[in-house]
Structure 1
Amino acid sequence: MLDVRRMQVLRAVITSGSVTAAAAHLGYTPSAISQQIAALERETAVTLLERAGRGVKPTAAGLLLTRYAAVISEQLAEAETALADLRAGREGRLSLRYFASVGPTLLAPALARIRREHPGVAIDPKVADPDDALSEVYEGDADLAVVVRPPTGALHGIRVVHLLDDAYQAVLPAGHPLAAKRVIDLTDLAGEPWVGSEPPGPCLAPLIDACAAAGFSPDFAARSEDYATAQGFVAAGLGVSLIPRLGLSARHPGVAIRRVRHPEPVRTIHAVVRETSLEHPVLRTLLDALKDAAGE
C-alpha cells in the first residue's frame, strides 16, 4: 500500500521544483526529503524524479502520483471539515426509537428544538417495541430509544436517563356514578367490567401489579391496544379503563377522567443511549429537550 505522507512529500518537491525548496516548506532537512522520495520509489518500483539542472523534474510516474496526491489532499481536507461539522452538531444523522404515546407529547417538541438548533442534522424517528428498541441501541442500530422501563440488568456502555413517571388515570363513561368523585380508590373499580388499553408487556405490567396490590385482578370485557379506541369503548359503556396520562392528550368527549390512588399505577419512562454517543452534541441537546418536555 502506498504511503500517503510520502506522496504528499513528492507533490511538495514537484510543485516547488527542488528538494531543498520542499524541505524548507515542509520543515524537514533535504536529506529527510530525499529519504522519503527514495522509499516511495522502492514502494512503486519506478523512478519518480530525475535531475533537471540544479533542480528536479517529475517522470510520468511522478506526475501520475502527484495528481492522486492532490486528490487525496483535497479529500482529507473535506473529511476534516465534515468531522468538525459532526463534532459541532452542524451535520449528521440521529436514529431514534420510541413508543407511540410519547410521540406527540415528548418527542415532537424535542425534535422541534433539534430542528431549530441543529437544522443540518437529519433525524430518523421510528416506532418500535420497547424491548426491541433497547436492543437496537445496545447493538448500535439506533442512537437513542425512549422505553417504558429501564433494563433489568446492567448493560455495559449503556446510559439510562429517567424522563418521567407517567401515572395511569381512570377513564369512566361520562355518566358513571364514580365520575362524581375527584379521586377514585383503585378498589372502587374492582367489580367493574374493564376495557384493556395496553398490549401485554411493560405498559400493562404496572397496571396489573397495582390491581394485585389492591387485592383484585381486572375483569376485561373488551380489549384494545390503542388509547383512542379504548376511550371509545368506555364511552360506549363497555367498561372502565386505566390509561396513562400521556395517552390522554386527545380525550373522547364521552368519558370522564379521574385520578386513582391506593395505589396509583405508574409507568416509568426512560431514554436509553450508548455512553460513547453522549459525545455527540446533538444527542445531548435531544436528551435535554426530552427532559424539558417531560417536565412540562
Structure 2
Amino acid sequence: MLDVRRMQVLRAVVTSGSVTAAATNLGYTPSAVSQQVAALEKQAGIELLERVGRGVRPTEAGQLLSEHAAVISRQVSDAETALADLRARATGLLSIRYFATAGATLVAPALAGLRREHPGLRVDLRMTDPQDPLTEVREGGADLAVVVRPRGRPHEGVHLVPLLDDPYRAVLPAGHPLAAKRVLDLTDLADEPWIRGDGPGPCLDPVIEGCAAAGFSPNFVLESDDHATTQGFVAAGLGIGLIPALGLTHRHPEVVVRKVRGPEPVRVIQAAVREASSGRPALQALLAALRDVASR
C-alpha cells in the first residue's frame, strides 16, 4: 500500500523542482526527503524521479503519483472544511422525545423556528415513555427528551435543563358554586369528587403533594387518558380536576378555569440531554429554541 505522507513529499519535490527546495518548504533535511522518495519508489516498484542537471523531474509514474497526491490533499482539505462546518452549525440528525402537552406547545414551535434557521437539520421525533423517559436518553437512543422532573434531582449520564414551570389550574363545571371565586384555596376542593387526568408518576405527584400539604387526599372518582377527556368529564358534572396550564390551550366551552393557592401545585418541565452529546451545535440550537418558546 502506498504511503500517503510519502506521496505528499514526492509532490513537494515535483512542484519545487529539487530535493533541496522541497526540504526547505517542508522543514525537512534533504537526506530525509530523499529517503522518503526512495521508500515510496520501493513501495511503487518503479522509478519516480530522474535527475536533470542540478534538479530532478518526475518520471511518468512520478507525475501520476504527484497528481493523485494533489487530489488527496484537496479531499483532506474539503473534509476538514466540512468538519469545521459541522462543528459550527446545527446539522445532522437529532433524536427528540416528548410528552403529549409539550409536543404541541413547546416542541412544535421550537422545531419550526429551528428548521428555518438550520434547514440541514433532520429530526427523529417520537413520544416518550411517560413512566421512564430518561432511559432512552441515557442509553443513547435519543439526544433529548422533554420531561417532567423535579429540580435538583441528578441522573447519571443525563443533564437536566429547566425550561418551564407549569402551574396547575382548577377546572370546574360552568355552573359550579366555586366558579364565582377568582382564586381558589386548594382546601376549597377537599370535599369535591376529582377526575384524575394523569397516571402515577411525575405529572400526578405535584397534585398529590400539594393536596397533602393542604391537609387532605383527593377523592378520585374517575380517570381519563388525556386533558381533553378530563375537561369533558368535568363539563358533564362528574367531578372537578386539576390540569396543568399547558394542558388548557384548548378549553372546553362548558368549564371554568381558576388559579389555586395554598399551595399552588407546579410541575417542572425540563429538557433531558445525554451528557455525551451535550456539546453538539445542533443540540445547543434546539435547547436555545426550546428556552425561547418557553419564555414566551
Which stretches in structure 2 are left out of the alignment for 5+ residues?
none
Deviates more, 1:283-292 or 1:181-190: 283-292
The question of whether the paired residues in 2 share the 8 Å contact of 1:130 and 1:146 is answered with no
Aligned equivalent of 1:33: 33
Aligned equivalent of 2:96: 96
How much has 1:21 moved relative to structure 2? 5.1
Counterpart CA distance in 1 for 2:277 and 2:118 is 16
Q: 1:285 to 1:21 in 2, by over 3 A?
A: same
SS across alignment from 1:279: coil
The question of whether the paired residues in 2 share the 8 Å contact of 1:211 and 1:217 is answered with yes
Aligned residue identity for 2:288: D
Aligned equivalent of 2:198: 198
Which stretches in structure 1 are left out of the alignment for 5+ residues?
none
How much has 1:91 moved relative to structure 2? 2.9
The question of whether the paired residues in 2 share the 8 Å contact of 1:114 and 1:282 is answered with no
Aligned equivalent of 1:211: 211
Q: Deviations over 1:187-244 (max 9, x none)?
A: 2222222221112211111112222223333232221121112111211222211110
Q: 1:241 to 1:85 in 2, by over 3 A?
A: same
Counterpart CA distance in 1 for 2:186 and 2:294 is 25
Matched, 1:51 2:50: yes
Q: 1:18 to 1:164 in 2, by over 3 A?
A: same
Q: 1:151 to 1:185 in 2, by over 3 A?
A: closer
Q: 1:193 to 1:64 in 2, by over 3 A?
A: farther
The question of whether the paired residues in 2 share the 8 Å contact of 1:157 and 1:274 is answered with yes
Aligned residue identity for 1:284: Q
Counterpart CA distance in 2 for 1:131 and 1:40 is 62
| TM-score in terms of structure 2 length | 0.84
The question of whether the paired residues in 1 share the 8 Å contact of 2:131 and 2:201 is answered with no
Alignment of 1:52-131 (within 5 A): 53-54=52-53, 55-58=56-59, 69-89=69-89, 91-129=91-129
The question of whether the paired residues in 1 share the 8 Å contact of 2:150 and 2:267 is answered with no
Deviates more, 1:284-293 or 1:202-211: 284-293
Identical-pair percentage: 64
Q: Deviations over 1:59-98 (max 9, x none)?
A: 75x6776566455434322221211211221533322222
Aligned equivalent of 1:240: 240
User: Alignment length, in residue pairs?
Assistant: 294
The question of whether the paired residues in 2 share the 8 Å contact of 1:14 and 1:58 is answered with no
Aligned equivalent of 1:249: 249
| TM-score in terms of structure 1 length | 0.84
The question of whether the paired residues in 1 share the 8 Å contact of 2:168 and 2:264 is answered with yes
Aligned equivalent of 1:175: 175
Counterpart CA distance in 1 for 2:72 and 2:243 is 59
Aligned equivalent of 2:159: 159
Alignment of 1:273-288 (within 5 A): 273-275=273-275, 277-288=277-288
Aligned equivalent of 2:143: 143
The question of whether the paired residues in 2 share the 8 Å contact of 1:48 and 1:59 is answered with no
How much has 1:159 moved relative to structure 2? 3.0
How much has 1:25 moved relative to structure 2? 4.8
How much has 1:163 moved relative to structure 2? 1.6
Q: 1:99 to 1:223 in 2, by over 3 A?
A: same
Deviates more, 1:24-33 or 1:174-183: 24-33
Considering only aligned residues, what root-mean-square deviation do their CA atoms show, in Å? 3.0
Counterpart CA distance in 1 for 2:73 and 2:151 is 46
Aligned residue identity for 2:246: L
Counterpart CA distance in 1 for 2:151 and 2:186 is 28
Q: 1:223 to 1:274 in 2, by over 3 A?
A: same
Counterpart CA distance in 2 for 1:14 and 1:282 is 43
Counterpart CA distance in 2 for 1:197 and 1:124 is 28
SS across alignment from 1:232: helix
